Structure 1
Amino acid sequence: MGGWTVTGGRDAIDAAAVRAFIQRYAALIEARREELTALDAAIGDADHGTNMDRGLKKALERLPEGEALPANVLKSTAMALLSHVGGAAGPLYGTAFLRAARAVEGLPALSPEDVLRAFQAALAGIEERGKAAPGDKTMVDAFRPAVEALETALRSDRSLEEALQAAHRAALAGSEATIPLVAKKGRASYLGERARGHRDPGSLSAALLFQAAAGEVPKKPGEDGGQIGGAAGR
């Protein structure tokens, strides 16, 4: 999947690259659908994997061909998730993609700083919509450390590739850290101590989002084009 553009000697992501990111996320969710559903069966409604898979398949159907603006690809994805993902995940992920779209509206290509701003806006939307904080055993436990790691890496002059890989590692660690927690939000909160020992399914789908983001990043000027397999794992 190509579509990278480099403007002004800096890395930049165009609409085709954002489209490829959505395609990778959909593929990862499909591959882990049963695992996500099994996790949700332990502490929720047993539908997180199937819901996310259905919603992202609808998003793929709606992805605009030849779209020039990354924000419009993100907005199209948001609308599909809001319409076709049930439970809490639809509003949360739909809001995340919609806020990200608004953060980069009108830009023909995204710099690393734009990517950070989009993820920061997505996180703010999730936290506002879900009224969740770190430690509540929700997707925030993966999403917030990922965004913080992304910001830290970029502020330390790391490449976007390295920063996204760091974000994915932080998201995975945050997801794993939900296992011993007692849930404070959502259906799992009704289980009390019985929720301990189970990973939050939303935290894993959030980690997969950052895995998709880390899977392909712009090449530096003068390097060979093509896809970069994210070292953060496939």
Structure 2
Amino acid sequence: MSTVSGTEIDTAAVGRWLRAFAEAIAENREALTALDAEIGDADHGVNMDRGMKAVLAAAGDEPATDPGALLKQTGMTLVRSVGGASGPLYGTFFLRMATAAGDAPTLDAAGLAKSLRAGLDGLTARGKAERGDKTMIDAMAPALDALDEAVAADASLAVALRDAADAAAAGRDATVPMLARKGRASYLGERSVGHQDPGATSAALLVEAAATALPPAP
């Protein structure tokens, strides 16, 4: 087990993370949709809000027995309920996390980092994107690099996730001057420059929700 914090992440903690993310998406629904209107289909906020509401409903109807089961349920729900590219991408992210988590009753910090990295690998494969393409990977990849570095340095879970959230926010902001090379935004060519990527924005919200919900109360 990792010595990062001595705290294990159980199913209830993952549930708190998902609720925090759902709340963040609801609060930012119009802002996400406005960003998507500039370079996409103007539906990212609406689609993600619908999907996360469905995730919370499914979790309430069929309580999961371990973190991996809840992550799998989340991924499957997002694939079914979210339109556009967001459903398959976020769905793949959580499904790959679930596979990495397995049926362990809890995850330590290293296990969480491993599961998140598996999710990112799934995103990369599914979206055929890499850093610099102006996608959610530009927020997630630096976040997980920061998390891995903090875990390796035996930082507390709170510090590790705060580092990850800060890196995700910086990655989100860095998409503004980028030229989109994937997705609907890529059709705009040079006109995609100067706009913040909506997928990177929601990904940063996901990492921020983890930093808020997963560490133990002081």
Distance 2:215 2:63 in 1: 19
CA contact (8 A) 1:139 1:202 kept: yes
CA contact (8 A) 2:137 2:200 kept: yes
* Structure 1 counterpart of 2:38, one-letter code: A
Which residue in 2 is equivalent to 1:5? none
CA contact (8 A) 2:24 2:209 kept: yes
Which residue in 2 is equivalent to 1:4? none
Q: CA deviation at 1:66?
A: 4.8
Q: CA deviation at 1:72?
A: 0.8
- Scaled by the length of structure 1, the TM-score of the pair is 0.89
- Counterpart of 1:109 (choices 82, 106, 110) is 106
Does 1:20 find its partner at 2:19? no
Q: SS at 1:215's partner residue?
A: helix
Give structure 1 stretches of 5+ with no counterpart: 1-8, 220-226, 229-234
Distance 1:117 1:111 in 2: 10
Which residue in 1 is equivalent to 2:47? 51
Q: SS at 1:197's partner residue?
A: coil
Higher helix fraction: Structure 1 or Structure 2? 2
Which residue in 1 is equivalent to 2:72? 75
Distance 1:108 1:179 in 2: 40
* Structure 2 counterpart of 1:162, one-letter code: V
Q: CA deviation at 1:209?
A: 0.3
Distance 1:10 1:107 in 2: 16
Which residue in 2 is equivalent to 1:200? 197
- Scaled by the length of structure 2, the TM-score of the pair is 0.95
Cα deviation digits, residues 80-101 of structure 1 (max 9, x gap): 1000111111000000000000
CA contact (8 A) 1:55 1:80 kept: yes
Distance 2:82 2:63 in 1: 26
Distance 1:95 1:145 in 2: 19
Map 1:1-234 to 2 at 5 A: 10-63=6-59, 66-219=63-216, 227=217
Q: Percent of counterpart pairs with the same letter?
A: 52
CA contact (8 A) 2:16 2:214 kept: no
CA contact (8 A) 1:12 1:109 kept: yes
CA contact (8 A) 1:120 1:147 kept: yes
Distance 2:206 2:118 in 1: 15
Distance 1:217 1:94 in 2: 20
Distance 2:180 2:215 in 1: 38
- Runs of 4+ with deviation above 4 angstroms: none
Q: CA deviation at 1:157?
A: 1.3
